[in-house]
Amino acid sequence: MAGDLPPLVSTQWLYDHLGDPQIRIVDGTYFLPNVPRDARAEFAERHIPGAVWFDIDDIKDHRNPLPHMLPDLEGFAARAGALGLGDGTAIVAYDVHGLMSAARVWWMFRVFGHDAVAVLDGGLPKWRREGRPLASGPATPEPAVFTPHFRPGLVRSLDAVRHELATESAEVVDARSAARFSGAEAEFRPGLKSGHMPGAKNLPFGDLFAADGSFRPPAEIAARFRAAGVDPGRPVTTTCGSGVTACVLALGLHQIGKPDAAVYDGSWSEWGARDDTPIATG
């Protein structure tokens, strides 16, 4: 089971596997700082049976002032293990948006060497529309052992992105809205400039979804990337506001046969806050 898990699973597939001892379900809901909602409280009120809550605002490098930079190997292994997410298990992540922050959970597990991880297509909204079972209350997972193996090729630093842009050695694709990318709309995080990295392409992450919030078919995903001027045959680095929705683009690329797309972890929260990084508008 664990080795055969595709990167995207349907609500019917997850329903059929509820209670499977090899499957672990993760609620990876995260709300942007300007959204007055409490992910922890909403999890306690309503979640898919057997799920645990994975807090990307807490499972991070707390020494870094940026919003959610990757933790170190030992820290991630300890937190994953405490949630019952261990070696030999298949992990399915979802969120209350349909698909946003769950992709960050998917990417983090892949970065730390765990390939048996998927995202629930359509997330909790689709699950609820279909009248599938829900649970409430706190999660009580059995601790597990998670053995991390870091994959540096799936992560990009500021210096690496500078180099890719300067040398045009990779496609850099920004998942933010067109208005934020162009600079027409101000950033909601304090202290960030408006605009984008010179040379970056723009593909808002929501463009990869159909009207019901599910991922578009692979052919349509590929068409969206091409329309944004992105050649998936080249090295690709995805970016966004803080390294969350960039992972949606990475998941979309995986769906069209490109599993090696990297994510710029600092994203605009880092680039847009500095005085030594060039910025373009329009």
Both structure tokens of 166:
């300067």
Contacts 24+ apart (CB under 8 A), 203-210: 203/173, 203/174, 203/175, 203/228, 203/230, 203/249, 204/175, 204/176, 204/177, 204/178, 205/100, 205/175, 205/240, 205/245, 205/246, 205/248, 205/249, 208/248, 208/249, 208/252, 209/98, 209/99
CA distance 130 to 154: 35
Maximum CA pair distance of the chain? 52
Alpha helices in 67-174 (DSSP H): 73-82, 102-111, 123-129, 158-167
The alpha carbon of 201 is separated from its chain's Cα centroid by a whole number of angstroms, namely 19
Alpha helices in 119-186 (DSSP H): 123-129, 158-167, 178-182
Which sign does the torsion angle of CA 173, 125, 43, 113 carry?
negative
**Which residues are tagged catalytic?**
240
